[in-house]
């Protein structure tokens, strides 16, 4: 389970905030989608959750472990795919996966068959011994996804994970996300591709201007707006420049109730 409690992030000493007083609980056994336009604060939120950034205010816990106070212990229970796949480019694909397996303590007799299956599934079996620097953007993204799947941790935190993936790889990842959640584990991913979220999530959170505007299921959003339209239409109503809610500091918690002023 992930618990984000009144978290804010400022890069300029508190004059402005990329994330503002955000509180959110992501449960075991669910896929939670964090949606928002570019610059909404999605990546900043996920980087704080993964321990890449420290919150300016508030706390983040993963399975009850404070990410700031006990970063190593917290990170052992999660895998993170960031918004860029350009990491450890001097390593070969196989070396990268073995490095990830070492970090998470995946036994030798477990890692080899997992690496082989992931490489076969994601069409990377013939490229594992090539340097990551020689990969295309999509192949690098596949490698980051494979690295996250390899340790099979309790929590997956994925920032725009479908970006650059071919249709088969995207389908495989969605299947893996569903299986992970159905096993009682937690999946949190961000996206601005609304169609992806609508087909995958159990619950969704909408963020804009660093603030959480809505939390609930897609059906609850439809009920809230008394509208059977697409998630995209609802998303635009919540985050559009002309929306009275955008930047208003509002949150709807896990229901179809109207958004209330903080």
82 located within any domain: no
In this structure, is residue 162 part of a structural domain? yes
Among 136, 152, 168, where does a domain finish?
152
Q: Which residue has the tokens 């955000």?
A: 22
pLDDT band at 247 (very low <50, low <70, confident <90, very high): very low
Q: Are residues 141 and 247 in the same domain?
A: no
Residue 28 lies in a domain: yes
Are 137 and 189 members of one domain? Answer: no
- Do 205 and 42 touch, CB atoms closer than 8 A? no
209 belongs to a structural domain: yes
Q: Residue 260: which pLDDT band, with cuts at 50, 70 and 90? A: very low
pLDDT band with cut points at 50, 70 and 90 for residue 190: very high
In this structure, the answer to whether residues 51 and 97 fall within a common structural domain is no
pTM: 0.85
168 pLDDT above the threshold of 80? yes
> In residues, how long is the chain?
262
What's the pLDDT at 143? 93
Parallel, antiparallel, or unpaired for β 2-9 and 19-26?
A: antiparallel
Q: 80 burial class (0-12, 13-18, 19+ CB within 10 angstroms)?
A: buried
Which residues neighbour 217 within 8 Å (Cβ) at sequence distance 6 or greater? 201, 202, 203, 204
- The token pair at 8 is 């804010």
Residue 219 pLDDT class (50, 70, 90 cuts): confident
Residue 137: phi and psi, rounded to 5, are -60, -45
- Is 125 domain-assigned? yes
With tokens 């994970």, the residue in question is 161
Is a pLDDT exceeding 60 seen at residue 176? yes
Spell out a b/e string for 235-255, using b for 16 or more CB atoms within 10 Å of the CB, else e.
Answer: bbbbbeeeeebbeeebbbeee
Domain end (from 126, 152, 178): 152
Point out the least confidently predicted range of 53-57, 182-186, 196-200, 204-208. 196-200
Domain closes at, from 152, 170, 201: 152
% of the chain surpassing 70 pLDDT: 89
Asked whether residue 167 falls in the same domain as residue 214, the answer is yes
> For residues 197 and 32, what is the distance between their CA atoms, to the nearest angstrom?
9
**In terms of domains, do 49 and 107 share one?**
no
The one-character DSSP state at 91 is S
Check whether residue 7 and residue 115 sit in a common domain: no
Round the average pLDDT of the chain to a whole number and report it: 86
Assess whether 114 and 35 both reside in one domain.
no
Give the pLDDT score at 32. 96
Domain span at residue 35? 2-77+154-261
Q: Is there a contact between 156 and 177 (Cβ–Cβ < 8 Å)? A: yes
pLDDT, tens digit (0-9, with 9 covering 90-100), for 109-137: 999 999 999 999 999 999 999 999 999 99
Q: If we measure between CA atoms, which residue out of 224, 234, 233, 211 comes closest to residue 258? A: 224
Residue 243 has pLDDT above 70, yes or no: no
In a domain, 178, yes or no: yes
One domain, residues 179 and 248: yes
The verdict on 244 and 161 lying in the same domain is yes
Any domain includes 66: yes
Q: Write the pLDDT tens digit of every residue in 132-147.
A: 999 999 999 999 999 9
Q: Are 36 and 99 in the same domain?
A: no
62 vs 41: CA distance, rounded Å: 19
Say what the pLDDT of residue 228 is. 63
Q: Are residues 127 and 242 in the same domain?
A: no
Short-list 223, 241, 240, 242, CA closest to 232: 240
In a domain, 83, yes or no: no
Confidence band, pLDDT 50/70/90 cuts, at residue 250? very low
Q: What is the pLDDT of residue 240?
A: 65
Q: How many domains does the chain have?
A: 2
Give the domain CATH number at 179.
Answer: 3.40.50.300
Query: Is the pLDDT reported for residue 256 higher than 70?
Result: no
Beta strand 211-216 with 203-208: parallel, antiparallel or unpaired?
antiparallel
Q: Are residues 140 and 160 in the same domain?
A: no
């Amino acid at each position: 389970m992930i618990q984000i409690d009144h978290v804010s992030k400022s890069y300029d000493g508190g004059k402005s905030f990329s994330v503002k007083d955000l509180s959110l609980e992501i449960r075991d056994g669910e896929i939670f989608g964090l949606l928002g336009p570019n610059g909404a604060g999605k990546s900043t939120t996920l980087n704080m959750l993964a321990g890449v950034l420290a919150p300016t205010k508030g706390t983040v816990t993963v399975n009850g472990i404070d990410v700031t106070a006990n970063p190593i212990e917290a990170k052992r229970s999660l895998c993170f795919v960031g918004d860029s796949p350009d990491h450890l480019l001097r390593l070969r694909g196989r070396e990268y996966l073995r490095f990830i397996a070492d970090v998470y303590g995946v036994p030798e007799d477990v890692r080899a068959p997992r690496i082989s299956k992931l490489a076969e599934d994601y069409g990377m079996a013939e490229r594992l011994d090539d340097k990551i620097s020689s990969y295309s953007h999509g192949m690098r993204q596949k490698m980051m996804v494979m690295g996250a799947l390899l340790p099979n941790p309790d929590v997956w935190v994925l920032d725009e994970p479908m970006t650059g993936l071919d249709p088969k790889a995207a389908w495989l990842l969605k299947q893996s996300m569903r299986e992970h959640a159905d096993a009682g584990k937690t999946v949190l991913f961000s996206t601005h591709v609304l169609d992806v979220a609508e087909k995958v999530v159990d619950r969704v959170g909408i963020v804009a201007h660093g603030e959480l505007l809505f939390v609930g299921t897609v059906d609850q959003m439809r009920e809230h707006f008394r509208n059977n339209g697409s998630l995209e239409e609802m998303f635009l109503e919540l985050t559009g420049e002309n929306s009275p809610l955008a930047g208003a500091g509002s949150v709807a918690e896990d229901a179809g109730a109207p958004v209330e002023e903080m």
